[in-house]
Structure 1
Amino acid sequence: MSQVPRGPRGERGAVTAEAAMALPALVLFTLAMVWLVGLGVTQVRAVDAAREVARAAARSDSAAEAVALGHRVAPEGSRISVSRVDGTVRAQVTSPLRGPGGLLRHLGGVEVQASAVAVQEPS
C-alpha cells in the first residue's frame, strides 16, 4: 500500500481552524437574514392592516369595527388608530418587531409604521 504524501506538519488542523473561524460569521449572517425577512413580513402585514382599516372606516363602519378588522391582519402587539378629517379617513398602524425567534431580545426591537388614507364614502 502506498502512503499519501501529507503537507508540512505546521498545516495540520488548518481546515478545522478555518471552519471554527468561519462558523460564527455564518451564524451571524443567517440571523441577520432572518431578521431582515421578519422585518419585511412585519412591514407588509402592517401596510395590509392599515389599508383594511382605512377601507372599512371609509365604508362608514365604526372605528371600533375597523380597528378590530385591522387587528386580525396586523402583527401581534400592533397599535392601530383611525382619524377622520375633511372627508378622508386615515389609519395608522405601529407594529413592534423583536429579534428572530426571541433571540437578541435584550437588544430591544424596532417599530414598523404604516398608514393608509381613503376617501369617506357618502352615507
Structure 2
Amino acid sequence: MSGVSIPVVEVSAVPENGYLLDVREEDEWRAGHAPNAVHIPLGQLAERAAEIPKDTQVYVLCRVGGRSARAVQALNEAGWRAANVAGGMSAWALARRPMVSETGEPPVVL
C-alpha cells in the first residue's frame, strides 16, 4: 500500500445516518457492532461488493483500521467513495457511539 493515500475520517465525523461497512469476521461482528452497519467480512468483499451502493460515501470499519484500510483502497480503486474510520470499532466504542450485539450480551469489541 505504499504511496497510496487512504482517506481517513474520525469517528466523530461519521454522520449518524452514514453508510457504515463493517469488514470484521463473524465472531467480532456478533460481539458488538454499530446498529446500522452492513456486515461484509473482508474475505467476502470482492464477491459481495455489488451489495454496496456506489452513489453514497462509504465509511469502513474493522477493529482498529488495518483491514478496513485494505477494503477502502480496493473499493476506491473500483469506483466507490470510501473512507477508513480511524481507530475502527475500538475508537467507536471509546467515543461511546451506539453499539449492539447479536449474542444477548452487552456489546464489546473483540
TM-score by length of 1: 0.25
Query: By percentage of residues, which structure has more helix?
Result: 1
Q: Which has the higher strand share?
A: 1
Higher relative contact order (Cα pairs below 8 Å, separated by 6+ residues): 2
